[in-house]
């Protein structure tokens, strides 16, 4: 397999309601206040869903807040977000979120639309 899915997010205008829904549905525990880039979610509204230690599951996040459109996204792990984003554009993708550095989480993320219009995230150390 190539690059793995390393993270997913569920974003909407009412993140507390999303946390309540997914907590009741799947048992996910996701307290608000996790570090996040401002363009991804309101920082006070973001929460991490961590997999059990040793689990092959990807980590996740729930967030958003007022002014954030609802969407679900998965992130593929890459070494260099900027060069991967440029390569994706060359292959026909459209950039919808330029690289954003989350200093609190020590990660850089970006969003793109693939040629079919699917929202995809990439994440890496730089």
pLDDT of residue 52: 81
* Per-residue pLDDT tens digits for 3-49: 999 999 999 999 999 999 999 999 998 899 998 989 999 989 999 99
Alpha carbons 39 and 115: distance in angstroms, whole number:
23
* Per-residue pLDDT tens digits for 49-81: 988 888 888 889 999 999 999 999 999 999 999
Beta bridge partners of 10: 62, 72
Residue 104, pLDDT above cutoff 90: no
Residue 95, pLDDT above cutoff 80: yes
- Tell me the three state secondary structure of residue 21: helix
Question: Where residue 124 falls among pLDDT bands split at 50, 70, 90?
Answer: very high
H-state helical runs in 62-123: 81-90
H-state helical runs in the chain: 15-26, 81-90
Domain residue extents for the chain: 5-124
Residue 89, pLDDT above cutoff 90: yes
Radius of gyration of the chain (CA): 14
Mind giving me the DSSP string for 61-77?
EEEE-TTPPPEEEEEEE
Contact criterion met (CB below 8 Å) for 18 and 12: yes
Q: Which fold has domain 5-124?
A: 2,3-Dihydroxybiphenyl 1,2-Dioxygenase; domain 1 (3.10.180)
């Amino acid at each position: 397999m190539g690059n793995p899915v390393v993270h997913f997010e569920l974003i909407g205008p009412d993140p507390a309601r999303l946390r309540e829904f997914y907590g009741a549905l799947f048992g996910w525990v996701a307290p608000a206040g996790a570090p996040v880039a401002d363009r991804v979610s309101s920082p006070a509204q973001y929460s991490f869903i961590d997999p059990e230690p040793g689990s092959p599951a990807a980590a996740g996040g729930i967030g958003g807040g007022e002014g954030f459109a609802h969407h679900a996204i998965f992130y593929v792990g890459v070494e260099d977000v900027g060069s991967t984003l440029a390569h994706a554009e060359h292959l026909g993708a459209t950039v919808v979120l330029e690289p954003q550095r989350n200093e609190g989480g020590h990660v850089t993320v970006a969003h793109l639309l693939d040629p079919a219009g699917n929202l995809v995230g990439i994440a890496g150390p730089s």
